[in-house]
Amino acid sequence: QRLRGHRYLQRVSTGLKRDWLASLAGDIAVLAEGGAEILVVSSGAIALGRTILGLGKRALKLEESQAAAAVGQIALAGAWSDALGKGSLKSGQILLTLGDTEERRRYLNARATISTLLKMKAVPVINENDTVATSEIRYGDNDRLAARVATMMSADLLVLLSDIDGLYT
């Protein structure tokens, strides 16, 4: 079974795993102090919104998933901001859709925004914009989104937190 990214960040019954997030943010702060430019691609908006709204484990309609994402994304961005702020880091939220990495003008704009955040010493916290994404225009998972962002930014390294052994291409 695949461990989806949001499972690292939250418990279904109690919400975010703030201790885990704080630990990861501390590691990011150490890397940033050493001069590394860090970008975070974070899952969890729909799952967190589902918890906040009390939607349980039932299958959601598209509009319910999008509403859960809207509620969850605010909480998720706030949690990242709080956790990174404890390490004296600033953060900025970037929400992307598939079109932002496929249409040239939007691609260049997204890249410029992320580059500017990095120049300003802010950690871009990136997620798919699940409030507007439909099944036809979704990345499918944040591993693909992370790979596209890493390519967009000419990253030297991409680290995926997962329980899947090996490299998939």
Mean pLDDT for the chain overall: 88
pLDDT tens track for 44-98: 999 999 999 999 989 999 999 999 999 999 999 999 999 999 999 999 999 999 9
Better-predicted residue by pLDDT, 11 or 70: 70
Average pLDDT over residues 5-33: 79
Residue 157 domain-assigned? Answer: no
Output the domain CATH number for residue 75: 3.40.1160.10
Residue 121 domain-assigned? Answer: yes
Residue 98 domain-assigned? Answer: yes
Residue 166 domain-assigned? Answer: no
Residue 163 domain-assigned? Answer: no
**What angle is formed at CA 91 by the lines to CA 82 and CA 6, rounded to 5 degrees?**
65
Residue 64: domain span: 5-152
**What confidence category does residue 15 fall into, taking pLDDT thresholds of 50, 70 and 90?**
confident
Per-residue pLDDT, 4: 41
Residue 164 domain-assigned? Answer: no
- Total domains present in the chain: 1
